[in-house]
Structure 1
Amino acid sequence: MKLFHYRYTLFVIFAFISLILTIGGCAPKQRAPVSTLDTPEHHVFTGMKLLETGKLSDAEREFNLGKELDHKYAPAYRGLGLVFAYKGEFKPAFKNMSKAKKLAKSKDEEARVYIGYMRLYTQQRDKDWLDDVVDNFRKANKILKKIHKDWPDPYFYMGLAYKESYKFSDAAEQFKKVLEINTTLVDKADYELKLVQKIERAMPGTPIGKKVALLEKVKRVDVAALFIQEMKLDKIYEKFRPKKFDTSFKSPGQRSSAYQMPVPVDVVDHPLRADVQTVVALKIKGLNAFPDGTFAPNEFITRASYAMMIADVISTISNDPSLDTKYIGSVSPFADVRNDVPYFNAIMVCTTRGIIEAERGLRQNIFNPMGSVSGADALLIIRRVKEDLKIF
């Protein structure tokens, strides 16, 4: 009996040792560095630079290389969390950020994790996301205050969060703080500050206006929505455009169809179909439906095409058809706009009234007619039209 217990005990011990060895064998092994710069720190540094330029796959590779060298290196997991967030994969994003928090070995690393959480919540924008960003902003700054450091990062990403939630004044204050600290993120903060200040000057008053304000480039459908929802151009035209009456006889069926707005074939199922229908019926130059019955809602607007639309709106509201030809034959003040191109007169109407600003070249004025139009610029131009024509 004693022999049996002895053998059983030995069996249990050997089984336990085998299990430990098996588990240890299955666990990922840390990779040995192959060069001087093959370090977790260097890979994370490179990964963050790649992340900020939108090269997500390359950034992910760098963070994984750093993790292979040190399985407990918190910044590598923080970087992976950010990569997954920008990919829209939030479950692994928060999982990696949580691991980074557990592995943080210093107050610096812990503060950077909270800043990472700020970026995750801003990307996700789930329920109460802004409250979560503010909470992590406070946690990051509380740690930084304890270790007597003043980083610009929490303020910059708090500013981005406020901007995305349309709190433009609050965003401006955060970007100003980054400029006051004046260490890193200065150029980015300066750009963002100018953007939110421009949006504030444009004063978007509708949800669609605030949403479009954040776009880097606007499309035809965006302008249609701005003209109808933000500017209420259909209501303005009813007041200022001379009414035309058709007194010819029509049957009841013809009468009902005569007042229906055309529906371009490529916006039938579009969320902004009603705005496109209305704007097409207004017959604004440059924003008409095309001969094939399409509207091309996703086509980007150029500065020249937007000038044509705005000039036509000015001519219509002011009831001054002479504006349509006022500058034809004039000398062009712009090095990149000839006076014989179709949009020259429109550009002159808009720039001479201060509604669209020219750009400065090295030695001469340019207009950049084929350049894109940002949402903030589109709104600010609409604001200037309303002020110029005194329509509010």
Structure 2
Amino acid sequence: MFTHMNRLMTLMIVIVALVAVGCGPKAAPPTSVLDTPEYHYNQGLKFFAKEQFDDAMREFQRAVDLDPKSPLGYIGKGLVLGQKGDFKAAFENMEKAKSNETKGIEARIGMIRLYGLQMVKEPGKAKGLIKDAESEFKTANAKEPNNARLHYYMGMAYKVDLDFDKAAGMFRTVLDLNKDFTGEANAEWALIQKIQRAAPGTEIGKKIALIDKIDRADVAALFDQELNLEKLFTKRGPKTYDTTFKAPPESSTQFSPDKTVKMEAATDIKDNWLKASIETILKLQVRGLEAGPNHTFEPNKRITKGEFAVMLEDILIKVSGDEKLATKFLGATSPFPDVRNDQYFFSAVMTVTSRNFLEADKATGEFKPGDPVSGADALLSIREFKNQ
């Protein structure tokens, strides 16, 4: 009787399991030899790298449809969802990928990438995420210690966590392995070295160091936080005098300047996270970084190398008190094939390059005044300025 009951129970369990399997998602039939999860996963990664996220999601979903038990499609979907800010769904997909992964470490690399994305998109929740990424790395590294992609993406996670020493170590490992991602790792390693030379001393400086093309708000923050420009002007700059008209105490005039409504220096910085630094720099009236006649600062407008040169020259003149610098190179021949001596930034370019604040292209000799300025390059200029 007992044996008969056991057999019935076993049979029921098998039936339930078979029903569960039958009710699960069925694989779509491939339409060609290239219609595989691997192909669509790799295509999706290419779209993801180009920031074509909808196209990437389409490819990743096809990978899932072709094989619901493969981790690849879920990894890709997790990355796209994370890029779009839906981290709940992103981690659900990545966990599904991990549970489906019977060999390899692709899902754990995906997890590390997802933690890095969350650190960027949700900085308020970033604390502790690097530990989670390190945990994934430790497990994956035990399986495949020579996986270049694993080290590269762990380096990227350290980079966004602003741990530049550990990031450099990971990128260096990728270069030493000399397998995949050597070009990408070399570029990142060079950037980290540049940031380390610039040695940003503030959290804001470290964050701006990672920006490829900085804007006017970023520059204001660097001048305020890294150069401490207000203190520098107070300590070494020229004295200012109040030369405005003052009515005699006995004057019977009814006009009260202190009671007039004064318009803000910049009306478009209210919600900018760098508002305090912008307001500080506006008071210092750095040439090229003032508000316009319509009282707008344009905080999100990217600056060019020529504009940055003008700002640096103006600060140098005010700090040194040497106003002759503004006309020192008047009429001089330009050593740069792309800078004429009649352009408004010519003198500034000559001044900053002669002091190594900024450099011309070593291969072509061009200054490239219209190029954007990276955060790392701006920090190096400020470091050199401070050293002099």
* TM-score normalized by the length of structure 1: 0.86
Match of 1:225 in 2: 221
Indicate the residue corresponding to 1:83 in structure 2. 80
Q: Secondary structure, in 3 states, of the residue corresponding to 1:45?
A: helix
Call closer, same or farther: CA 1:29–1:354 in 2, change over 3 Å: same
Are residue 332 (structure 1) and residue 334 (structure 2) matched? yes
1:316 to 315, 318, 322: 318
Quick one: structure 1 residues 256 and 229, their matched pair in 2 at CA, closer, same or farther if it must change by over 3 Å? farther
Q: Which residue of 1 aligns with 2:110?
A: 116
The question of whether the paired residues in 2 share the 8 Å contact of 1:159 and 1:172 is answered with yes
> What's the offset of the Cα at 1:54?
2.0
* Equivalent residues in 2 for 1:46-195, closer than 5 Å: 46-106=43-103, 108=104, 111-125=105-119, 126=125, 127-145=127-145, 150-195=146-191
User: Given that residues 262 and 281 in structure 1 are in contact (C-alpha distance below 8 angstroms), is that contact kept between their aligned partners in structure 2?
Assistant: no
Amino acid at match of 1:170: K
Quick one: which of 356, 359, 374 aligns to 1:357?
359
Query: In 1, Cα distance between the equivalents of 2:370 and 2:332?
Result: 21
Partner of 2:201: 205
Structure 1: unaligned runs, 5 residues or longer = 1-12
Listed one character per residue, the Cα deviations across residues 176-222 of structure 1 (whole Å, up to 9, x for unaligned) are 00000010111111111111111111111111111111111111111
Q: Say whether the 8 Å CA contact 1:355–1:381 is kept in structure 2.
A: yes
Give distance in 1, aligned partners of 2:289 and 2:256. 27
Distance change >3 Å, CA 250–CA 93, structure 1 → 2:
farther
Which whole-Å CA distance do the structure 1 matches of 2:190 and 2:259 have between them? 48
Equivalents in 2 of 1:317, 1:243: separation in Å?
10
Taking the aligned partners of 2:279 and 2:47, their CA distance within structure 1 comes to 43
CA contact (8 A) 1:332 1:338 kept: yes
- More off after superposition, 211-220 vs 80-89: 80-89
Check whether the contact 2:238–2:318 (CA below 8 A) recurs between aligned residues.
Answer: no
SS of aligned partner of 2:268: helix
What displacement does 1:249 show? 2.8
Preserved contact between residue 351 and residue 357 of structure 1 (Cα < 8 Å): yes
Q: Report the AA paired with residue 374 of structure 2.
A: S
CA apart distance, 1:52: 2.3
Alignment of 1:229-268 (within 5 A): 229-246=225-242, 248-249=245-246, 263-268=265-270
Question: For residue 76 of structure 1, what is the amino acid of its counterpart?
Answer: G
Q: 1:129 to 1:256 in 2, by over 3 A?
A: farther
Residue of structure 1 in register with 2:279 after alignment: 277
Report the Cα offset of residue 261 of structure 1. 10
Q: Which amino acid aligns with 2:283?
A: A
How big is the shift at 1:339? 1.1
Instruction: Give yes or no for the alignment of 1:367 onto 2:363.
Output: no
Please report the TM-score for the alignment, with normalisation by the length of structure 2: 0.87
Alignment-mate amino acid for residue 376 of structure 2: A
Instruction: Determine the C-alpha separation between the residues in 2 that align with 1:331 and 1:291.
Output: 34
Q: Which residue of 2 aligns with 1:6?
A: none
Residues in 1 aligned to 2:287 and 2:45: alpha-carbon distance in whole angstroms: 46
Q: Shift of residue 244 of structure 1?
A: 2.4
Question: Any conservation in 2 of the 1:56–1:83 contact (CA below 8 Å)?
Answer: yes
- Any conservation in 2 of the 1:44–1:79 contact (CA below 8 Å)? yes
Find the aligned partners of 1:272 and 1:251 in 2 and give their Cα distance.
41
Partner of 2:5: none
Contact 1:262 1:277 (8 Å CA) reproduced = no
Matches of 1:278 and 1:155 in 2, distance apart? 41
CA separation in 1, counterparts of 2:380 and 2:355?
Answer: 14
Q: Is the 8 A contact 1:261 1:281 kept in 2?
A: no
Runs of 4+ in structure 1 displaced over 4 angstroms? 250-258
Distance 1:313 1:254, change over 3 A: farther
Aligned mates of 2:55, 2:199 — CA distance in 1: 40
The alpha-carbon deviation at position 378 of structure 1 amounts to 0.8
Q: Which runs of 5+ in 2 are unaligned?
A: 1-11, 120-124, 250-254
What does residue 292 of structure 1 align with? 294
Aligned equivalents of 2:355, 2:32: Cα separation in 1: 63
- Distance 1:128-1:278 versus aligned 2 partners, 3 A rule: same
Aligned partners of 2:131, 2:87: CA distance in 1, in Å?
Answer: 18
Q: How far apart are 1:250 and its partner, in Å?
A: 5.4
**Percent identity of the aligned residues?**
42
Contact 1:75–1:100 (CA under 8 A) maintained in structure 2: yes
Aligned equivalents of 2:248 and 2:232: distance in 1? Answer: 30
TM-superposed CA distance for 1:297, in Å, is 0.8
Contact 1:261-1:277 within 8 A present in 2 as well: no
Name the SS of the counterpart of 1:171 in structure 2: helix
CA spacing shift, 1:36–1:329, aligned 2, 3 Å: same
Q: Is the contact between residue 264 and residue 295 of structure 2 (CA under 8 Å) also seen in structure 1? A: no
Measure the CA separation in 2 of the matches of 1:86 and 1:36.
Answer: 31
One of 342, 345, 364 as aligned partner of 1:343: 345
